[in-house]
Amino acid sequence: MTTPCQKKPGAPDRRSRILGAMLGGAVGDALGAPVADMDIAAIRERYGKAGIFRMEAAYERTGAITDHTRMALFTAEGLILSRVRQEYAREELAVTALYHAYLRWLLTQDFQGQGELVRQHGTCAVVDGVLTGYRELFARRAPCRTCLSALRSGKMGTMDRPVNDSKSNSGLTRVAPVGLVCVDASKAFDLGCASAAITHGHPGGYLAAGFLAALLSRLASGQPLTEAVADATGILTATSGHEECLRAVEKAVAWSSGQQPVTSEVLDALGDGRTAEDALTIALCAALAADRDFRQGALTAVNHSGDSGATAAIAGSILGAGGGADGIPDEWLMELELKGLIEETAMDLFDQLCTLDYDSRYLGKA
């Protein structure tokens, strides 16, 4: 296990940004888990006028992560294995490695179908990963039904051959590792779209994931958030069918830069966060308004009437990539479930991929 980066003065390096994005997404997910199905009135009634502001109990423990973080971990594992396993040696098989990683996630959630899953896809694809050795990941934390049904179908969805017409947010919440390992934002966009399309066939479901991957690619390389948004928007608008996703991004930018503070009521007006576009709008708006303040951005993203876990997880990844791991409050990290595993996975991403020119080896020559 690689030791996570130590606190350093000055701008965070790429290692710290990758660690910050992975931990930040998990922290946002854990903050939102207790209130994911509550409206803002109920949140304020339970936690006070300011809403939820610290780690609270969900799934019988404080700091519990949900399948937003778990599927992000499996995304990271798929990327890592695409580097070290011979069966994924050809560059176009990076997406297949992600598909197999999501099948391993399915193995942890679909107890009755485990035998058939192994018979259909083979032990190497479905079982032989590090994450399936963590029994904690087998507990059910409201797994996405779209992901379950798509992966049970036995078909790997693609943008050209969709398995459904879903644009729910779970293709978006798991995509962060793709952006973190791709230095080229255009390649991050393409692989982000492909990874989400494995389970989400609507353009709204996979284009938002591509945008977020491109955004995180630029942030991990040290670009300021507003410039990274502009670059990712340029990549998005060159893609067919981008109009809905572009409107989502434009709403986030407009509301975050307006005269009115970004309140719970503002976020509620932007959507409920259950579709990928709505989740992206809310999370991006909260992150932009926070101006690199992780605590402010995460609490804004979690205190509204929509899918608080998804929106705070996305905002946490954005803010963590922008500010590095040092910007995340220590008291939140101390209570985070599986913090050590998340750190180790983030460092493996850096060590196995970012230091070995992942873009040119696995996503095509620049």
What would the pLDDT profile of 30-41 be if each residue is shown by its tens digit? 999 999 989 999
How large a percentage of the chain has pLDDT more than 90? 81
Short-list 252, 334, 265, CA closest to 41: 265
* Range 129-153 average pLDDT: 94
- Within a domain: residue 308? yes
List pLDDT tens digits, range 255-264: 998 878 899 9
Beta bridge partners of 162: none
Least confident of 105-109, 114-118, 153-157, 356-360: 356-360
- Within a domain: residue 114? no
Q: SS3 for 286-337, per residue?
A: HHHHHCCCHHHHHHHHHCCCCCHHHHHHHHHHHHHHHHCHHHCCHHHHHCCC
Q: What is the pLDDT of residue 112?
A: 77
- Within a domain: residue 2? no
The burial class, CB within 10 Å (0-12 / 13-18 / 19+), for 268 is middle
Contacts of 155 (CB under 8 A, 6+ apart): 161, 163
* Range 217-245 average pLDDT: 97
Cα torsion 82, 181, 244, 302: sign: positive
Give the position of tokens 């019988």: 60
Position 78 confidence tier, pLDDT thresholds 50, 70, 90: very high
Position 365 confidence tier, pLDDT thresholds 50, 70, 90: very low
Position 178 confidence tier, pLDDT thresholds 50, 70, 90: very high
Global pTM? 0.93
Does residue 3 surpass a pLDDT of 50? Answer: no
Give the count of alpha carbons within 13 A of 260, CB side only: 12
CATH code of the domain containing 163:
1.10.4080.10
- β-pairing, 61-62 with 57-58? antiparallel
Q: What is the pLDDT of residue 51?
A: 97
Contacts of 9 (CB under 8 A, 6+ apart): none
Position 366 confidence tier, pLDDT thresholds 50, 70, 90: very low
**Rounded (10°) angle between helices 308-323 and 67-84:** 50
User: Domain range for residue 219?
Assistant: 14-48+158-358
Q: Is 89 left (phi over 0), alpha (psi -120 to 50) or beta?
A: alpha
* Range 165-170 average pLDDT: 97
Q: What is the pLDDT of residue 260?
A: 83
- Within a domain: residue 61? no
Cβ neighbours of 61 (radius 10 Å): 13
Cα–Cα distance, 249 to 273 (Å, whole number): 13
* Range 311-327 average pLDDT: 98
Does residue 57 surpass a pLDDT of 90? Answer: yes
- Within a domain: residue 134? no
* Range 305-320 average pLDDT: 98
- Within a domain: residue 7? no
Q: Please state the domain count of the chain.
A: 1
- Per the CB < 8 A criterion, the answer to whether 132 and 73 are in contact is no
- Within a domain: residue 42? yes
CA 145 centroid distance within chain: 17
Q: What is the pLDDT of residue 362?
A: 44
Least confident of 62-71, 156-165, 259-268, 318-327: 259-268
Position 2 confidence tier, pLDDT thresholds 50, 70, 90: very low
- Within a domain: residue 272? yes
List pLDDT tens digits, range 192-206: 999 999 999 999 999
- Report which of residues 111 and 358 the model is more confident about: 111
Cα–Cα distance, 29 to 64 (Å, whole number): 8
